[in-house]
Structure 1
Amino acid sequence: MARRARVIVVGCSAFGAAVARSLSASGSDVIVVDMREDAFDRLGDDFDGETVTGDGSSASVLRECGAERATHLVVATGRDTVNLLVAELASEVLGVRQVLPVVDDDSLVEILEQRGIDPICPHRICEEEFFQITGLPRAEGER
């Protein structure tokens, strides 16, 4: 029997909440961490996971959430630098197997990729989608 996913989502942004709701509805164990309690309103009444009000960039808060046992950790705060810090902490210190930070800054994306962390880069995803939808040519040497 496959092990049930245990996912921690740091940052109850629109993206973080959407991921948390969907994973919870599909049967994963989900814990959402945010510094603002009202951010959890985005999760809706059907959310079946846990919420923790606290600083997701704190190793002690992540440990309280069971980060060492997490299969995935999604970092979706509104700040790239915070997402980078939490991603490195979760990956390198707490040993979370798959860490997925949302990052827009290309230089931070490169840092994460060099460390073996798979960043989610919204503008790159949108760019890929644009060229797929339109069928327009992309400049030689571009992604």
Structure 2
Amino acid sequence: MYGTHAEPLARVLEAVGDSAMLLSYEEDRAFAALSLGRFPSVGSSRLDWDGAEVIERCEAFDSGQLNRMVRAYAGAGELAVVFWSNLAVPAVAMEAALVAEHADEVLEVSPECWIYLTDSKLLVEFQDGKGLTVGQVPN
């Protein structure tokens, strides 16, 4: 089931070209273990931020806000891994600056996504109707 529907990523991949890498199931699970897997969940697709260090929350639900948050918290040249709520769409790794620059295309893939900033060990959760949360990944 994982990665069987890469079609929704077409605009993202077209925009960033060879700068993005589709992750295999094993790579997805390895990055998830370092990020998403360290949070309990609320329902089927929201993270439970209770007990985690939340750095910023924003109720805005748009690509401009996602762009701003990724730029504000990612280091120069930092790798970002983008996970989608649908596991049939493979996770993608690329520079965080590209995620910010192409936030419109990223959000067209799914109204729910998580962006793991690998050097900063920060996670950005983007949930339709719930806005954005940026926080430290628990140890």
Structure 1 length normalisation: TM-score? 0.27
Higher share in strand: 2
The structure with more radius of gyration = 1
Higher share in helix: 1
Higher RCO structure (Cα 8 Å, ≥6 apart): 2
Structure 2 length normalisation: TM-score? 0.27
